[in-house]
Amino acid sequence: MAFITVTDLSLGYDEQLVLRDLNFSVSKGDYLCIVGENGSGKTTLMKTILHLKEPISGKIETGDGLKQNEIGYLPQQTIVQKDFPASVKEIVLSGCQGRCGFRPFYSKEEKTLARENMERMGITDLANRCYRDLSGGQQQRVLLARALCATGKVLLLDEPVAGLDPKVTAQMYDLIEGLNKEGITIIMISHDISAAVRYASHILHIGDRVFFGSREEYLKSGIGKSFVEMGKGGENNG
């Protein structure tokens, strides 16, 4: 069975239906990019997968040994979150909260895991820095390290390169690709269609038209061809 299976899912927000009868699955090792026009329901879908929102109908099932608390999440940052007055080490460690149960402190193993993930993201030298004093790219590395403390299996990333300059964007994509090659399943919302078709193994396109399949199938499809051409034209397809 797949890690995540979505069956006949309908969802929306503010009592407005935005997606109807959606079906797709995500297997271990996949790199799925979710693309589509603004307002098509990408973030709503991701929050529904995380059970932060209830679906209107349909179901989302986890399988192949994946538990709901083994899904790491990197949401879009708000202005308030960017200004959070905590140290890098404290924020990364907070990703272990789901492992603590009722313990009011972090174990030696959890502190080791946080340290290893800071090393993995190349931010060890920032451990004692205040999060709000970091650059946008550094903050995203901190949040990735935090998400990795929550899971070694699946990462959900909501436009992780939004607002980053081209050089830092390329570095972030390389980091995410490296994690996928290590065996972590990636589900990423992207407004960057060129990056989506470069890195993803599978594409889920939602909106007025829906497509789910491999990257190769998407590039051959009518919806894929038209969307890629729009991307080349410089339009924002978030």
For the segment 203-234, what is each residue's pLDDT rounded down to a tens digit? 999 988 899 999 999 999 999 998 888 776 65
Q: Are 7 and 58 in contact (CB under 8 A)?
A: yes
Distance from C-alpha of 219 to C-alpha of 151, rounded to nearest angstrom = 31
Q: What is the mean pLDDT of residues 174-187?
A: 95
Query: What three-state secondary structure class fits 119?
Result: helix
Q: Give the pLDDT confidence score for residue 76 in this predicted structure.
A: 83
Give, as one character, the DSSP assignment of residue 134. S
At position 177, the amino acid (one-letter code) is E
DSSP 8-state assignment for residue 14? T
**pTM score:** 0.89
More confident of the two residues 34 and 236: 34
Question: Are the C-beta atoms of residues 227 and 205 closer than 8 Å to each other?
Answer: yes
Per DSSP, 131 falls in state G
The H or E element containing residue 187 is strand 185-189
Give residue-wise pLDDT tens across range 31-76. Answer: 999 999 888 899 999 999 999 999 999 999 999 999 888 899 998 8
Q: Is the pLDDT of residue 179 over 90?
A: yes
Tell me what the mean pLDDT of segment 14-31 comes to: 92
Q: Report whether pLDDT(100) > 80.
A: no
- H/E element, 35: strand 31-36
pLDDT score of 235: 45
Alpha-carbon span 82 to 107, nearest angstrom:
27
Residue-wise pLDDT tens digits, 105-120: 888 999 999 999 999 9
- Mean pLDDT over 25-32 rounds to 97
Q: Are 45 and 22 in contact (CB under 8 A)?
A: yes
pLDDT score at 150 = 87
CB 42 within 8 A of CB 78: no
Higher local confidence (pLDDT), 238 or 35: 35
